[in-house]
Copies of this chain bind each other. A is one copy, B any other.
């Protein structure tokens, strides 16, 4: 089993060199998820930091009325993780479920902490990941309150086309903060546009 993608991921942030990355990678275990498998269930404590090499994972929660809401969509090259549950050792507010078969790499909380303790450069990497995720959320928040649904859809289409191709539109809609009907209309409208 080769962890090439994982090593590349460590290198991508520029905070680790090749030897360090390769070494850290040995602490991760390969992990496979079949379509519809749960990586984490709401109410339980996450103990798997999961790097996705292929496939798509969906995070979802329930709103005040009990409706399912897709809060995150993770594809290859990302870490699918409920941060607060994993790091605070508290019950997760949301589920993590594979939408397709997934291949990736896992590490437990204890192992990760061991690495953080032993390897300052990996610590930096870990912090970078949190910071990056925070920035991502901020961007989504801003878009949600200032951009129209159509613009948000176009942005997602541009930044993550693979998601649009593989994720049922109702989940995408919920991720974008709209209903599936609205998304359907947005898609039909943006295709033809008015010619002359």
Q: Tally A residues with Cβ within 8 Å of B.
A: 34
Picked from B63, B130, B151, the residue with its CB within 8 Å of the CB of A130 is B130
Asked whether A189 is an interface residue with its Cβ less than 8 Å from the other chain, the reply is no
* Chain B residues, CB < 8 A from A120: 117
Q: Is B71 touching A138 in the complex (CB atoms < 8 A)?
A: yes
Binding stretch for chain B, among A4-12, A44-52, A80-88, A162-170: A80-88
Are B133 and A64 in touch, CB under 8 angstroms?
A: no
Give complex CA distance A83, B139 in Å: 13
A interface residues, Cβ below 8 angstroms from B:
61, 63-65, 67, 69, 71, 83-84, 87-88, 117, 120, 123, 127-128, 130-135, 137-138, 140-142, 144-147, 151, 174, 177
